[in-house]
Amino acid sequence: MRREDGWHGGFAERGADPPALRRSDWGQADGRSRAEGAVDVVAALAARAVPGTRLGTKDELRARCGVSVGTFNEALRLLQARGVVTVQRGPGGGLFAAEQTPMARFAHSVLALDAAQADVAEALRIRDALEPLLWQDALWHASPADVKDLRGLLTAMESAAESADADAFVRANWRLHARVADITPSMLLRSLYVTLLDLVERHALGVGSEGAVPLAEHIRGRCELHAALIDALDRRDQEAVARLVAKHGTVGT
């Protein structure tokens, strides 16, 4: 594990965790989040069920997974993005096994890739190529509530930077990008991006400094860049968004 200016890249290996953890304790020994563990449990149920079968209520499935409400909500977002489940509200509602669309099958095939550095690097390269499309859609479709959520996630990134917690910074950064993906009306774009993001996150690529720039300074710069992007999004400043997204693609994370 690499250490640089008091920061550390990637996720630290940890011992076994109790069933439900605080958001700050999401990391597991294999580098995957508690939310991903819940995804695997529900996805296994859906895989054995006929499409349209009711798998249970959110509370029932959350209890089965042994995770907190916030963690299960994150898992549910991933399950829906991958086309694994659908959610119905009201009496008799809950989570239902979804029809396995071509997009869902594609997502599963991507997640089946091994942890070879070449696979992860390729996923990161393709994910970065999709960033301009996501921010362009966000420019035209983001609501005030979307912008407020993005600012909240930016605050989490800034807090991690201030406390010199590189793991928390990387997780907050991924959550911010996943939230941007939630804004696009294109299910295809959203599913493809989130699937690639999940692949990168599963294999825990760490944050690294750029050239001779100290890592702490690099991360502060990333916070400032994302803050400027969100401000430009809020102003509907198309030129600024395009310029900042181009800069975003040249410095990673």
pLDDT value, residue 23: 34
Q: Is 76 helix (H, G, I), strand (E, B) or coil?
A: helix
Residue ranges of domains in the chain, CATH in brackets: 33-97 (1.10.10.10), 102-251 (1.20.120.530)
Residues 6+ apart with CB under 8 A from 251: 210, 218, 221, 222, 225
φ/ψ region of 31 (left if φ > 0, alpha if ψ in -120 to 50, else beta) reads: left
Nearest Cα neighbor of 58 from 22, 24, 85 is 85
DSSP character string of 216-230: HHHHHHHHHHHHHHH
DSSP symbol at 206: P
What is the number of other CB atoms lying within 10 angstroms of the CB of residue 145? Answer: 8
What is the number of other CB atoms lying within 10 angstroms of the CB of residue 239? Answer: 8
Q: How far apart are CA 45 and CA 43, in angstroms?
A: 5
Q: Do the beta carbons of residue 123 and residue 134 sit within 8 Å?
A: no
Q: Which residue has the tokens 């696979």?
A: 119
Q: What are phi and psi of 56, to 5 degrees?
A: 140, 175
Ordered mean pLDDT values, 10 residues apiece, the chain (253 residues): 36 34 37 77 88 92 93 89 84 86 58 57 83 94 94 93 83 90 90 80 54 70 93 94 84 54
- How distant is the alpha carbon of residue 134 from its chain centre? 14
Q: How far apart are CA 251 and CA 224, in angstroms?
A: 13
Provide the whole-model pTM. Answer: 0.57
